[in-house]
């Protein structure tokens, strides 16, 4: 399959393409001319007929996006260097893209409420037959294989070994659960060291090993390692209808930040996503 493109627009890092049918402003450059950037994103959306622009920006520039009719969908406290709030905003070019049915809203609320009801921070030891490890370059083929088995579609090309190797050598650490010599679950910590934050992402467990809370143990290991790296804030963008993943983050002390409407291609549909965060 073709994946959405990641490139520099104006001075900032942007992902866009037909799979997610959106533009995603991933990282805004500190010297960015905001009005110029917004114009370029808007023009690209019109040219490519995308139905959403999604941005992640510091609170200090949030008002400029609100002035252009972006809607604030989620916030993360202390996202930038442990001090400044991060804002997640969306702008819609199609009424359907920005709309959730009552049934969808009810399910999202049920998942969120269920997760928040388990917000007592829990610490558990991994099963005796499981080892939680940081993965290396030699593990790249098995990481790609697990992602191929678990996900039909994904926002980034995590099925490609070259992509995994490039990210491992730059800003991403991969983790795994190993049982009887075999890696059976994986995850990724995507670090923004300049802003001292990390996105906990790309959790995948082989189907035959689900139901053992392996994502919980992966997240526990990742948080410990990120503290050692000096990272101050962790966040995730999780499927809003996944009871398990939302509970996993709540149990590790993450706070609910908001819901991104019809935001990300997972499986074969574009789904709403929940933002969770915590200080490390």
Contact 201, 237 (CB under 8 A): yes
Question: Residue 104's pLDDT is what?
Answer: 97
- The residue-averaged pLDDT of 107-118 equals 95
Q: Residue 52: CB partners within 8 Å, gap ≥ 6?
A: 21, 22, 23, 90, 91, 92, 93, 94, 97, 98, 262, 263
pLDDT at 156: 80
CA distance 97 to 51: 7
For residue range 146-177, what is the model confidence (pLDDT) as tens digits?
Answer: 999 998 777 788 889 999 999 999 999 999 99
Task: Give 271-274 contacts, CB < 8 A, sequence gap 24+.
Answer: 271/239, 271/240, 271/241, 272/100, 272/104, 272/108, 272/240, 272/241, 273/237, 273/238, 273/239, 273/240, 274/108, 274/111, 274/112, 274/237, 274/238, 274/239, 274/240, 274/246
CATH of domain 104-279: 3.40.630.30
Q: Which pLDDT score is estimated for 266? A: 84
Q: Tens digits of per-residue pLDDT, 31-43? A: 999 999 999 999 9
CA distances from 133 to 130, 152, 218, 225 (A): 10, 26, 8, 10
Residue 268 has a pLDDT of 80
Matching fold, domains 5-92 and 104-279: yes
Instruction: Determine the pLDDT at residue 122.
Output: 61
pTM of the entire structure? 0.94
Distance CA 36, CA 49 (A): 20
Tens of pLDDT, residues 212-238: 889 999 999 999 999 999 999 999 999
CA dihedral sign of residues 261, 187, 247, 195? negative
Decide if 21 contacts 49 (C-beta within 8 A). Answer: no
- The partner residues of 14 in beta bridges, in order of sequence, read 7, 25
258-269 mean pLDDT: 92
Residue 119 has pLDDT above 70, yes or no: no
Checking if the pLDDT of 121 tops 70, the result is no
CATH architecture of 5-92: 3-Layer(aba) Sandwich (3.40)
Q: Is the dihedral of CA 16, 20, 21, 26 positive or negative?
A: negative
pLDDT for residue 60 = 97
Phi and psi dihedrals of 162, rounded to 5?
Answer: -65, -40
Find the Cα–Cα–Cα–Cα dihedral 206, 162, 11, 226, rounded to 10°. Answer: 50
Query: What residues does each domain of the chain span?
Result: 5-92, 104-279
Computed over every residue of the chain, the mean pLDDT equals 94
């Amino acid at each position: 399959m073709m994946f959405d493109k990641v490139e520099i627009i104006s001075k900032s890092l942007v992902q866009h393409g037909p799979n997610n049918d959106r533009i995603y402003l991933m990282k805004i450059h500190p010297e960015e001319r905001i009005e110029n950037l917004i114009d370029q994103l808007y023009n690209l959306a019109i040219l490519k007929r995308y139905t959403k622009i999604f941005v992640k920006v510091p609170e200090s520039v949030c008002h400029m996006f609100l002035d252009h009719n972006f809607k604030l969908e989620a916030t993360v406290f202390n996202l930038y260097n442990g001090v400044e709030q991060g804002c997640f905003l969306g702008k819609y070019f199609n009424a359907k893209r920005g709309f959730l049915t009552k049934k969808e809203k009810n399910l999202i609320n049920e998942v969120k409420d269920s997760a928040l009801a388990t917000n007592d921070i829990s610490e558990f030891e991994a099963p005796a037959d499981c080892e939680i490890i940081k993965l290396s370059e030699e593990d790249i083929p098995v990481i790609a294989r697990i992602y191929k088995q678990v996900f039909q579609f994904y926002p980034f090309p995590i099925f490609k070994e070259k992509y995994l190797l490039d990210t491992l050598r730059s800003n991403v650490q991969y983790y795994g659960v190993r049982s009887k010599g075999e890696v059976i679950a994986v995850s990724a910590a995507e670090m923004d060291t300049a802003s001292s934050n990390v996105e906990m992402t790309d959790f995948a467990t082989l189907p035959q090993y689900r139901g053992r809370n392996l994502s919980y143990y992966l997240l526990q290991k990742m948080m410990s390692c990120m503290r050692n790296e000096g990272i101050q804030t962790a966040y995730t963008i999780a499927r809003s209808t996944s009871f398990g993943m939302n509970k996993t983050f709540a149990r590790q002390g993450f706070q609910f930040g908001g819901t991104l409407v019809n935001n990300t291609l997972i499986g074969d549909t574009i789904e709403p996503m929940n933002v969770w965060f915590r200080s490390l």
